[in-house]
Amino acid sequence: METVEENQKYIKGELIHLIFYNDENFYTVAKIKIIDTTETFTEKEVIVVGAMPRLEEHEVYLFFGHFKDHPKFGKQYQVEQFRKDVPQTTQGIIQYLSSDRFQGVGKRTAENIVKALGERAISKILENPDVLEEVPKLSKEKAKHIYDKLVEQQGIEQVLIALSEYGFGLQLSMKIYQVYKEQTLSVIQSNPYKLIEDVEGIGFRKADTLGAALGISGSHPDRINAACLYVLNETAHQEGHIFLETKELITSVVELLNSNSHAIIETDIAEQIIILGEEGKILVEEDRTYLPSLYYAEKGLVTNIKRVMDQTFENGIPESEFLKALGELEERLQIEYAESQKDAIKQALYSPMMVLTGGPGTGKTTVIKGIVETYANLEGISLDVNQYNRDNPFPILLVAPTGRAAKRMSEATGLPAYTIHRLLGWKGGQGGFEKDEENKLDGSLIIVDEVSMVDIWLANQLFKSLPDTIQVILVGDQDQLPSVGPGQVLSDLLRSKVVPTVELTDIYRQAEGSSIIQFAHDIKNGQLPEDLKGAKTDRRFFPCHQDQVLDVVEQVCANAFAKGYLAKDIQVLAPMYRGSAGIERLNTMLQQLFNPPSEQKRQIEFGDLVYRVGDVVLQLVNNPEEQVFNGDRGEIVAIFTAKENVDKEDLLVISYDGIEVSYRKHELNQITHAYCCSIHKSQGSEFPIVIMPIVKGYYRMLKRNLIYTGVTRAKQYLIICGEIEALQTAVGRQDESLRNSMLTIKLQEVLVLPVNKN
């Protein structure tokens, strides 16, 4: 075995007690009896922590790392590398190989192995099991048993040592080993770029560095293939493109791979694109290159929109009956629909599919309620959901991309509404959706709100799950930010002009005295109101520089808090995470303001963050098992220590509008503080008070649709603080970066412009 280098700091010790071990991420806390060390540490025992496979009691290990002071648990040894201390003397190896670990291997067999292979016997066997053929009278079966047991006992340590030499830390090395097990080194050595696909946390740069260490550089096919897939993935997730023009892809790959020492030739990339296409890893259509999932999502969405539009649709309801039903509804609700709203309700009821769009305050929610109530009246459908069951499901489906948006739909209509993921039975991870083309939804009318947030993947999944006879109403604001995922479904539908569309333009909430609504429409038109700096009953602008943002936001929040508003009523929105006025700094300050540490409040540390009871938090990933989804906002209601629960792990409990979800400590990467969040994350939600800093430091993000989306989150009061010049820049900058998509053109190819029957 390898010896410890003289300058390497280590602790050699025997495991006394395994205090904590997590099977999923290998996080270990163990008490060690020190046998030998090069550290200046005089105690006889030490606590070691880090990502390691399960340690065995009474085994001796070498731990390499450094000491750190934990604020609660004191001095601990943070392990960066480790390995089992395998005996290196002749007698020690004989005792090791003839121990209970290797059943069927007696002392004489062990002596023969050492006699044939020497004191490096164990290392030699691990490096090449064929050396056991040199041992006399050793059967192939027993040789294989010895090798397998050695790999089981020592293989992971060998892998971790090798990975550390390639520059991988212990935690990332454990993740890699968890995926490939004993095949780890052979996978890495054959194609290190495979790690990008298989291991979370490995990006192209990391894999490329590993590739260079293994001699894979320049125009090596594996390197070019990985770069092509990486560029397509990055542009889909970061820029929202469904495809890249092949020439654009080649240019991007050249920029990614070229260095002073290696010039990449475009023809080499073009050849590999052809090969990737033949292997089905990408799809090329004319001059466009797609990831397969995006190509089929776009194609599938077109096919299923056409299926919905082509259904035999005979409404058969005389206009007189429609007007009678609408009149009865107006009388019952004591409202009077404007002509544009009546047209929208009629178009919805007389079309297989319709898009309803409009800015804030134009009455989209009122129209949704009108569509539901009038439809139910004319079709003889009871709106008492208690009359329905699994065998006779409620035929009206109300859905939205986020839990908050679904809740608003439910409050507006008095009917159940769901997230799209929940409606389709999202099972998480590789589980996919329960509902698809083979197992369709039940329903005769579906209304989808906040469609601007729906990406091409989710839109395709929803549409292919629709039954052949269902009316579809899509509702959204085309001026808001596009979806976080690839595509621009709502904008593409509107541009295609092949689906009946009603745009609401009259502002009704303005009549109720909302200057926020008028402000939003001014922004939409690229203008700022002349009275921006004047105090309004529901809107204020506080001028300040970037380094003053934290103080101004703190003062505004403290004033609101003093007036009785709670942290969950106040949402600070910012476009960037880093910097002096970034989301991270704002969250730290706001947590101290709204929920400071207290002896009465439990708290738990996770990385650099501290979560305590009473904190407002944001869910970052979909968790279908708990019915909690990305963007849901909740409050920490309890924290339990490892000693207080049967799993022997710290536990944090969050309430999402009454749904309580428990998180083990290693799952806390699924949440973050929500006192301040990004404008993207706020989409689909509304808050009583919105505070939005706008400064020049955000320049890269300052665009009209971003500001518009943030402003339209405010329900009662809007406060903007920052630099007027930055706000003017943002409002004057249209987001010109249209996403690459063929949805509009492909819809126009299969559908004709509808005739408006009104």
Q: How far apart are CA 369 and CA 352, in angstroms?
A: 18
Residue 12 backbone dihedrals phi, psi, to 5 degrees:
-105, 125
Q: Which two tokens stand for residue 552?
A: 């101004």
Residue with tokens 């947030």: 453
Helix, strand or coil, per DSSP, at residue 603: strand
DSSP 694: E
Q: How far apart are CA 422 and CA 434, in angstroms?
A: 10
Task: Say if residues 642 and 29 touch (Cβ distance below 8 Å).
Answer: no
Q: Which residues contact 750 (CB under 8 A, 6 or more apart)?
A: 302, 306
- Regions in the chain scoring below 50 on pLDDT: 1-5, 510-511, 757-758
Q: How far apart are CA 733 and CA 721, in angstroms?
A: 19
Q: Which two tokens stand for residue 389?
A: 């069951």
* pLDDT confidence of residue 401: 92
* pLDDT confidence of residue 510: 46
Q: How far apart are CA 174 and CA 161, in angstroms?
A: 11
Q: How far apart are CA 738 and CA 240, in angstroms?
A: 9
pTM of the model: 0.80
Could you tell me which of 477, 495, 291, 299 has the C-alpha nearest to residue 400? 477
* pLDDT confidence of residue 88: 65
* pLDDT confidence of residue 491: 95
- Please say whether the dihedral angle defined by the alpha carbons of residues 694, 698, 704 and 706, taken in this order, is positive or negative: negative
- With vertex at residue 684, the alpha carbon angle to CA 680 and CA 686, rounded to the nearest 5 degrees, is 105
Q: What is the DSSP string of 488-507?
A: -HHHHHHHH--S-EEEE---
How far are the Cα atoms of 87, 119, 131, 437 from residue 128, in angstroms, in the given order?
19, 15, 6, 52
Kindly give the residue spans of alpha helices, DSSP state H, lying in 181-259. Answer: 184-190, 194-198, 204-213, 221-239, 246-257
Q: How far apart are CA 456 and CA 240, in angstroms?
A: 10
Q: What is the DSSP string of 92-142?
A: HHHHHHTSTTSTT--HHHHHHHHHHHGGGHHHHHHH-GGGGGGSTT--HHH
Helix, strand or coil, per DSSP, at residue 282: coil
Q: How far apart are CA 116 and CA 631, in angstroms?
A: 64
Q: How far apart are CA 675 and CA 596, in angstroms?
A: 13
* pLDDT confidence of residue 2: 43
Q: What is the DSSP string of 551-570?
A: HHHHHHHHHHHHTT--GGGE
